[in-house]
Structure 1
Amino acid sequence: MKVQAWFKGANGNRLAADLSGAEDAPTVILLHGGGQTRHSWARAHQVLADKGYRVVSVDARGHGESDWAADGDYSLEAQVADLLAVIKALGGRPVLVGASMGGTQSLVVCGRYPDIAKALVLVDVTPRLEPQGIEHIVGFMTRHPDGFASLEQAAEAVGAYNPNRPPPRDLSGLARNLRLRDDGRWYWHWDPCFIVGDHRDKVERISQTMKAAAPAVRVPTLLVRGRQSDVVSPDGVEELRSMLPHLAFVDIEGAGHMVAGDKNDHFNSAIIDFLQEHHPLPQEEQTEAGL
């Protein structure tokens, strides 16, 4: 059964989360990308919970229902500090599954604190971030500052950004990532301060921080790339492999940067196979889950 939970971030900021599974089950923390919310993991969360894992999907600071940063600090260092606070509150050594922004946090944490996690899954993110892909993302996030007149209009904007994914039949999932304000328009539910400033400089600093952390990662690591991604290139994959010789890699055909949403079944299969090897359930729970 999924319940809403709250964690205290590094600055006392509240972080909203969905939590499923028994407290003593192996834990998987799902960390979304920039401009998304924990609901982007909805199907993966449910599949992992049904398998018997303790699953925690967290809204990053300034996203979803988590507190917006009063000082406007959405730096990688602030996000890393929040993630450390969540891990400490949960106890034990979880598997970290991070998409894009969530993956940068996870990689840095695992590099700086080698024993903090059992394993690491990076979803379409490497230290080498292709400029055209970043421009694509920033363009999408800044294109509609005045919101949308309807959910259908928001869906059209998503479709223009991500033609790999068929338009949703049910807009309720999309609605979880927007908020209807008093002016009658729908707005993405994240702090606009998250995207201010020179994004090229930010991306370069993030890239350098990841490159510094990656060689120290010792835990089993899986990179799941969308084959049509414009953010992670084959060269970026090989560069990460040179830093992490133990890296496992899955390239999912028909998926772009938003891998879990584009090809959810393929994504779930890839991470479940990885988890069964590196973060297995107790034998009794595996039998009950039909594994």
Structure 2
Amino acid sequence: MKQVELVNGHLRFPALLTGDGEPVILLHGFPDTHENWAVQMKLLADAGYTCVAPALRGYAPSCQPGSGDYSLHAAVDDLLVFANQLGGRVHLIGHDWGAAVGYLACARYPESFCTFSALAIPPLKRLPKALLKVPEQIKLSGYMQFFQLPVAPEAWLKRDGLSGVDTLWHRWSPDWDPGLYLDNARHTLGEPGVLAGALGWYRHLIRLWRKEQREVQEWLGLDVRVPTQVLMGDNDGCMSPKLLDHCLNNDDFPAGLYVERLEAAGHFLHLERPETVAERLIAHLKRGECLV
């Protein structure tokens, strides 16, 4: 496992790299770190893939934009630059925010991706209407509105040595001890500027007056013309798996849609059940071939 950097303009994104074969980019979510992909990366590398897991925009001092742009539009741009640096076409795996970026990127730029696997996030196109049919998700998503406020979210997360981060991990993946994974996440989120950057992703969601945000809204309405797999844990305390009943439509995924709910897994399903998730990921990777 090597420590490398990916570059987009003046931003430098620390990343993990391992393996030899078709390229796979793995994108983490909140409140997490790219370093927690290491176990999955080893399993995928053993299956014959080159794996790269970069920090998301803002999750290291070297990739915090001076403009404060933490929009999904900017995150998609980061991803496309990474894909080009790896040869132009890649497999993509995303968890949480990483999955949200993946849905948008694959909808807008399908030619850049061979396959896409979304972990813990259902398809986005029909999600707004699905929220009306799964009222429990309104409560589960309350943290998103809270994180859009000034000052208060930082104070809550930072209290008692980032105990707010601990609370989210245990709430979203109950009945599981995250151990070193949580330690890694707390270390990353404790670095200068990272917590503010991570919260910036939430605060940009409501900036609907920005041209880039309007473009993202248009991308949400596009079909995803990349073979797509969705994996969710049955015990997810962040995103209700019931959303799948209202978000899935095969017509939205003309290149194929594969969905599974994993028992005894929560929001961090790839960390809780690494071998099972890797097995599903590898099977999906084999459904597509990157011509690089």
Distance in structure 2 (CA, Å) of the matches to 1:263 and 1:115: 31
Q: Which amino acid aligns with 2:39?
A: R
SS of 2:113 mapped into structure 1: coil
Structure 1 match to 2:284: 274
Distance in structure 1 (CA, Å) of the matches to 2:193 and 2:273: 24
SS of 1:176 mapped into structure 2: helix
Distance in structure 2 (CA, Å) of the matches to 1:253 and 1:165: 12
Question: How much is the aligned-residue C-alpha RMSD, in angstroms?
Answer: 3.3
Structure 2 match to 1:68: 64
Distance 1:225 1:145, change over 3 A: closer
Distance in structure 1 (CA, Å) of the matches to 2:268 and 2:241: 14
1:149: how far off?
4.1
Q: Contact conserved, 2:157 with 2:164, CA < 8 A, in 1?
A: no
Matches within 5 A, 1:159-174: 160-168=170-178, 170-171=179-180, 173-174=181-182
Distance in structure 2 (CA, Å) of the matches to 1:83 and 1:241: 26
Q: Deviations over 1:235-281 (max 9, x none)?
A: 4454332422521111111222222123222211111121223249x
Distance 1:193 1:28, change over 3 A: closer
**TM-score (structure 2 length as normaliser):** 0.77
1:198: how far off?
5.2
Q: Contact conserved, 1:147 with 1:188, CA < 8 A, in 2?
A: no
Match of 1:91 among 87, 101, 105: 87
Distance in structure 2 (CA, Å) of the matches to 1:180 and 1:56: 18
SS of 1:195 mapped into structure 2: helix
Q: Which amino acid aligns with 1:212?
A: G
SS of 1:109 mapped into structure 2: helix
Q: Contact conserved, 2:229 with 2:284, CA < 8 A, in 1?
A: yes
1:113: how far off?
1.6
Distance 1:205 1:91, change over 3 A: same
* Higher RCO structure (Cα 8 Å, ≥6 apart): 2
1:118: how far off?
0.7
1:108 aligns with 2:104: yes
Distance in structure 1 (CA, Å) of the matches to 2:154 and 2:161: 16
Match of 2:184 among 172, 176, 180: 176
Structure 2 match to 1:190: 194
Q: Which amino acid aligns with 2:230?
A: L
Q: Which amino acid aligns with 2:19?
A: G
1:50: how far off?
1.7
Distance in structure 1 (CA, Å) of the matches to 2:172 and 2:185: 16
SS of 2:225 mapped into structure 1: coil
Q: Contact conserved, 2:59 with 2:198, CA < 8 A, in 1?
A: no
Aligned length: 267
Q: Contact conserved, 2:71 with 2:205, CA < 8 A, in 1?
A: no
Distance in structure 1 (CA, Å) of the matches to 2:230 and 2:188: 36
1:135: how far off?
2.1
* Structure 2 unpaired stretches of 5+: 129-136, 148-152
**TM-score (structure 1 length as normaliser):** 0.77
1:175: how far off?
3.1
1:84: how far off?
0.7
% identical aligned pairs: 25
Q: Contact conserved, 1:177 with 1:189, CA < 8 A, in 2?
A: no
Distance in structure 1 (CA, Å) of the matches to 2:77 and 2:146: 28
Structure 2 match to 1:121: 117
Match of 2:221 among 184, 195, 212: 212
Structure 2 match to 1:287: none
Q: Which amino acid aligns with 1:133?
A: L
Structure 1 match to 2:19: 21
Q: Which amino acid aligns with 2:221?
A: A
Distance 1:66 1:268, change over 3 A: farther
Distance 1:156 1:63, change over 3 A: closer
Distance in structure 1 (CA, Å) of the matches to 2:168 and 2:67: 30
Distance in structure 2 (CA, Å) of the matches to 1:45 and 1:157: 27
Structure 2 match to 1:32: 28
Structure 1 match to 2:131: none
SS of 2:38 mapped into structure 1: helix
1:66: how far off?
4.6
